[in-house]
Amino acid sequence: MALSLGTAQAEYTLNLMKGVTKVSNDVYDLHMLILWICVFIGVGVFGTMFYSIYYHRKSKGHKAAQFHENTTVEIIWTIIPTLILVGMAIPATKTLMELDDVQSSDMSIKVTGWQWKWEYEYIDNGVHFFSSLDEASNKARQMHSGIDPRTVPHYLLNVDKPLVIPTKKKIRFLFTAADVLHSWWVPDLGWKKDAIPGFINEAWTSVDKPGTYRGQCTELCGKDHGFMPIVVIAMEQPDYDAWVKKTKEDAQKGPDLADQSRDELVSKGAGLYAKNCSTCHLPDGKGVPGAFPALTGSAVVKGDIKAQANLIINGKGGMPAFGKMLKADELAQIVTYTRNALGNSVGDDIQPKAIQELLPNKTAPAAKAEAKAVAPEKVEPVADMAKEELVALGKTVYESNCASCHQPEGQGMAPMFPALKDSSVVKGDINAQVNLMLNGKAMMPAFGHSLSAKDFAAVVTFTRNSLGNSVNDLIQPSAIQKLQAALPPAEDDE
Ligand code: HEC
Ligand code: HEC
Ligand SMILES: [Cu+2]
């Protein structure tokens, strides 16, 4: 067997790793404790058995004792295992409780699993990015790439943008997934957590030593499950602060909206396609029959360019929405690339400016409202209501639609769900609050289509005059009705 497997091979060890956090060390200690108890029992039981079988064998003239129902023996063999089990349960429970105790954390990071990358959102400071397999590994892993994986540093264990955390801080993680089950596992942290669509799982860590810690997705999540590693870099607070500042500055650099020549778009699109699209549609655009359509000769790619751009921005079925992941210039490059490469030669292009127009939050809701207001739908008018009436009705609407997140008393659940009590939104402009509730925002659902105009007006009025707020204004159902009529139609997949 070739033992010189080289740099690409991770270090193999016999035992669990101790990891770099207190919890991971406690998990290790617990594991060792239980292991030694098992070894002790195993040696004791099998030792006694083999000793008896050998030294008290029949050929030596020994005779088996024949007795039934010995109360003393039965009590002993009930009590001793019970004590052993209790003795093991106590340290195990302690460690489990420690693992689960996400309270009084210093910061929270939301982790979303995607096929096949990780999305990280720093809830406290707004840093947000996607982390996927690094380019060197990705190139080497392609069939017939001709690259020897052993020459790639941290082959399949490296990413383009690692998760950066400060040392000596208690960090709470919230896990969820956008498509299928994933699982986030960094052995050095001592635990792994499932990322499940529609659920939020919690975990926490606190790393003392700066360093780079690597892990992988450990839930079989589709064809590229093996290609979504995790890299966590722990930094001293000042370094971390500098990283946050730089990351934020980079993120604020908007897209480059300058026009580009078609050749420029295509050549830049090639790299972006390889990174973002080739896992599903394959590097040559031939796709995977039955799962991922071919882009070569695709009717969509050969069809209306705006329709294609919209599909890539908003996603469809198993096709992820890239509007949130890529900037307008990158999207323009990818779209133009698919139409003029991969065996296609449509001979057109789309400019970053045109893409910018198509991006969801770039078209202001007001503009949409205007467009629709030209031909308002005929709706039955609703009668005005007194403030007290609205507040009373609003209370029941609130209890069944909002309390699960914002809590019955409006105190919210930090840091995920803001308090409505003393909220600057609730105390601020009533139209801004209505807009937020009509259209939703991040994890706040859009209620524009799900509440009647009357219920909607009532719950808005309720939040402003109850839950400890006393703004002393109201909005009438008729006003909401006008706004609802101007909303874009509900999406079916919501
Ligand atoms: C996770 C896998 C995945 C990734 C990554 C992906 N797609 Fe798709 N794509 C799909 C699936 C699945 C469909 C079929 C959607 C449907 O019609 O239900 C699709 C459909 C398409 C279509 C329409 C093709 C047709 O003929 O119907 C285009 C164009 C397209 N993708 C382009 C892209 C581009 C460009 C990228 C990279 C920015 C990309 N896709 C990344 C899975 C993926
Ligand atoms: C699924 C959980 C959830 C439900 C249900 C929900 N909200 Fe929210 N809400 C949120 C989140 C999360 C935010 C913060 C959005 C952001 O700013 O990113 C929020 C923000 C708000 C805000 C702005 C508060 C501020 O200070 O930023 C108001 C007002 C509000 N919600 C009212 C309501 C009302 C009224 C209802 C019921 C009709 C409701 N919400 C139902 C999750 C929810
Ligand atoms: Cu996964």
**Which domains are assigned to the chain?**
14-45+73-101 (no CATH), 107-252 (2.60.40.420), 262-363 (1.10.760.10), 387-485 (1.10.760.10)
Ligand 2 atom having least distance to the Cα of 463: 35
Beta carbon of 458 within 6 Å of any ligand 2 atom = no
Q: What is the pLDDT of residues 166-182, one digit of tens each?
A: 999 999 999 999 889 99
Ligand 2 neighbour 461 (Cβ under 6 A):
no
| Mean pLDDT to the nearest integer, 21-43 | 95
Average confidence (pLDDT) over 473-494: 79
Which is more confidently placed, 103 or 10? Answer: 103
CA of 187 to the centre of ligand 3 (A): 16
**Matching residue, tokens 């200690």:** 29
The mean pLDDT value for 28-47 works out to 95
Q: How far is the CA of 96 from the centre of ligand 3 (A)?
A: 25
Cβ(438) to ligand 2 under 6 A? Answer: no
- Mean pLDDT over 279-299 rounds to 88
Mean pLDDT score, 107-124: 93
Q: Are 302 and 346 in contact (CB under 8 A)?
A: yes
Residue whose structure tokens are 């082959």: 155
Over the stretch 245-258, which tens digit does the pLDDT of each residue have? 999 888 877 788 88
Atom 5 of ligand 1, residue of closest alpha carbon = 277
Pairing of strands 171-177, 107-114: parallel
Cβ 114 under 6 angstroms from ligand 1: no
419 lines ligand 2 (CB under 6 A): no
> What pLDDT does 486 receive?
84
User: Looking at ligand 1, which residue's alpha carbon is closest to its atom 39?
Assistant: 277
Ligand 3 centre distance from Cα of residue 103 (Å): 27
Between the CA of 494 and the centroid of ligand 2 the distance, in Å, is 17
> In angstroms, how far apart are the furthest CA atoms of the chain?
107
**Model confidence over 179-238: pLDDT tens digits?**
899 999 999 999 999 999 988 999 999 999 999 999 999 999 988 999 999 999 999 999
Which is nearest to 432 in space by CA: 395, 467, 475, 400? 475
Reported as a single tens digit per residue, the pLDDT across 327-371 is: 899 999 999 999 999 999 999 999 999 998 888 764 444 443 444
**How many angstroms does the Cα of residue 441 sit away from the middle of ligand 2?**
8
Confidence of residue 135 (pLDDT cuts 50, 70, 90): confident
- Residue from 119, 266, 281, 340 to probe ligand 1 pocket by mutation (most atoms less than 8 Å from CB): 281
- Cα distance between residue 268 and residue 447, in whole Å: 40
Question: How far is 424 from 403, CA to CA, in rounded Å?
Answer: 18
Query: What is the token pair recorded at 75?
Result: 């009590």
